[in-house]
Structure formats: C-alpha cells, structure tokens
Chains A and B, each alone.
Chain A
Amino acid sequence: MRTMMKPHELAEFFHESLCIFDLKAVDKHTALQEMVNCVGDRLRFKDRDLLLDMLVNRESLGSTAIGKGVAFPHGRSLAIQELIVLFARSVEGIDFDALDSKPTHLFFLIIAPPQDRDNLYLQVLGHLVELIKTPALRKRLMEVNTFGELRDALASA
C-alpha cells in the first residue's frame, strides 16, 4: 500500500513554466500537442514527437479523461529523464473521449522515465486523482490564473 502524499508535497511537482491556463486547442490531438510543446520548450527537448506518439498510444489504450471535466494524459518515455507534471486548462472544454462524454476542462499531464524512483509516477497520479474528486478543488482550479494560486489551491486541498 502506498503512503499518502501530503497535498503540499504534491504541489511541489508543479512548475510555473509547466502551466497553461488557457489552452488554445479545440480537439484531443492538438491539446496533447500543445501540452507536449510546453514541455519541449521548458526542457529544450528535441524529440517532442516521441512524447506525443507515446501519449496518443496511451489514449488508444483507453481515454485518460476520467470524467467530471478532468483528464490525466500520462505515460513513460525513454526520451525524458525526470518526472514531468503539467497543468493545463481549457475554459471552453475539449472533447477528450471522457467516460461521462462531457467536455474536459482540467488536464494534468504526467510523464515519467521508464524507471523512476519509488514509482513516483504512479504515486503522483494516484494522489492527484484522489484530490480532484473534491468538487470544491475542481471549481477553484477553474478560477486560478497564476502559478501561485494553482499551488495554493493544491496545497490547501
């Protein structure tokens, strides 16, 4: 059984440069592309197509949009060296093949190297999934506009 990560510890995985408060994408593929480009810009990463292909393949295994307007695109790739967590939000909402067929507004992109310390990737994913079940947090995340507000919302959840 995994140890429960505290909300403020979880908030530490987020970075200011890995936040998109207003996704421009209008469909699933371009949303993934926009998020991967943000990761690529931060890491000065040349093989963005590797990440995109991995995420597209993951979506073909089953949509990562678990409903209530939230999706967790995730997976592992040799192309990256450290755990990446990105927050993105679409005010309009995107058809991400969600389980409840509703538009997805909040995205948490999580990418890990093939082997990561203590399987941190699954821990972070699991804790975020748990946290986001709280309607008040989802509502607050729809209203945050700065990295500080995002971190406060997660840390105080």
Chain B
Amino acid sequence: MLSLPRKMAGMEEQVKLLVALQDLDLMIKEANDADTSSEMKQMGFKFDGIAELSKARENLSKRIRPQLLNRYERLAKSYGRAVVPVTGNLCLGCFVTLPTSYPSLKSKDSFLTCQNCGRILYFP
C-alpha cells in the first residue's frame, strides 16, 4: 500500500509525487538494464515484477496535474533527471547557486525551477 496522498494534492505534494515518479522511473530503467539486472540476479534477487512497476507508474501519473506531468516528461527527455534536490542553495542538477530568497518563494500554488537549467527543484 502506498503512503503518498491519494487526492490531487497542493503543489508541494505534487512535487513530492514527481520525486516518487522519478524514483520509480529510475527503478524501471535499472530493472530493464541488462548489466544491472544480471548483477542483481547473480546476487539472488528476483526481478519478475516489471509489469507491477509499470502499473504503479500509471497509477502515480494519474495523481499528477497533466501540465506538470508534461513538463516532467519534457525535462526528463532532455536531462534524464527532471527533478533535482537543492542543498545549501545549490541546484544539484547544474550546480548553480540559487538566490537565498528562493525557498521563501515557494507557495501552495506554484513550484520552483532552477533559473539556470529549468529543472524542477525539490527541497529535501
């Protein structure tokens, strides 16, 4: 059972859903990667539930606003990672320092993007 909110959530929750989606996309990518999956299988792990992950991705996508999801998909295509964490005012996507006032600009109706690379910012 997943623990993230079921309803179409406020923007901060929407960004969290994007982080969950990106984690899931990475898991699917690694499960489909021949080298990684072979290494995991050699360790003794089963990798037979890729269909389950695809279903989970579909369900998660439905809870994200279409406009935000489109933006995520576009950025993921360009950069690989569409959402990046911010640590010490640094965008960990392009390593540009963000203005110190940036976190305070977050509101329940908007999300923040890096002014240099355009990636969606996540504040852990």
Contacts and interface: CB of A to CB of B under 8 A. Distances in A.
Interface of A: 29, 45-47, 49-50, 52-54, 56-58, 60-64, 66-67, 72, 75-81, 99, 114, 122, 125-126, 129
Given A56-B2, A60-B49, A81-B87, 5 more contacts: A50-B19, A54-B24, A78-B22, A78-B84, A114-B22
Interface stretch (B38-46, B69-77, B94-102): B38-46
B1 to A, nearest CB: 7
B3 to A, nearest CB: 4
B68 interface: no
17 contacts: A45-B124, A49-B4, A50-B19, A54-B27, A57-B23, A57-B27, A57-B56, A60-B52, A62-B46, A62-B47, A62-B49, A72-B45, A76-B30, A77-B23, A79-B23, A79-B85, A99-B46
A111 to B, nearest CB: 10
A129 B43 CA distance: 7
A59 B2 CA distance: 12
B31 interface: yes
Contacts, number: 96
Interface of B: 1-4, 16, 19-20, 22-24, 26-27, 30-31, 36, 39, 43-50, 52-53, 56, 81, 83-85, 87, 122, 124
B16 A47 contact: yes
B41 to A, nearest CB: 9
Contacts of A29: 1
Contacts of A57: 23-24, 27, 53, 56
A72 B44 CA distance: 11
Contact of B124 (A62, A79, A129): A79
B43 A126 contact: yes
A63 B52 CA distance: 13
B83 A78 contact: yes
Contacts of B122: 78-79
A76 B26 contact: yes
Nearest to B48: A62
A2 to B, nearest CB: 9
Given A52-B3, A53-B4, A81-B85, A61 B53 contact: yes
Contacts of B26: 76, 114
A148 B124 CA distance: 31
6 smallest CB-CB distances across A and B, nearest first, come from A62-B46, A66-B44, A60-B52, A49-B3, A61-B49, A129-B43
B124 A47 contact: yes
B17 to A, nearest CB: 9
| Most chain B CB within a 10 A radius of its CB, from A45, A52, A58 | A58
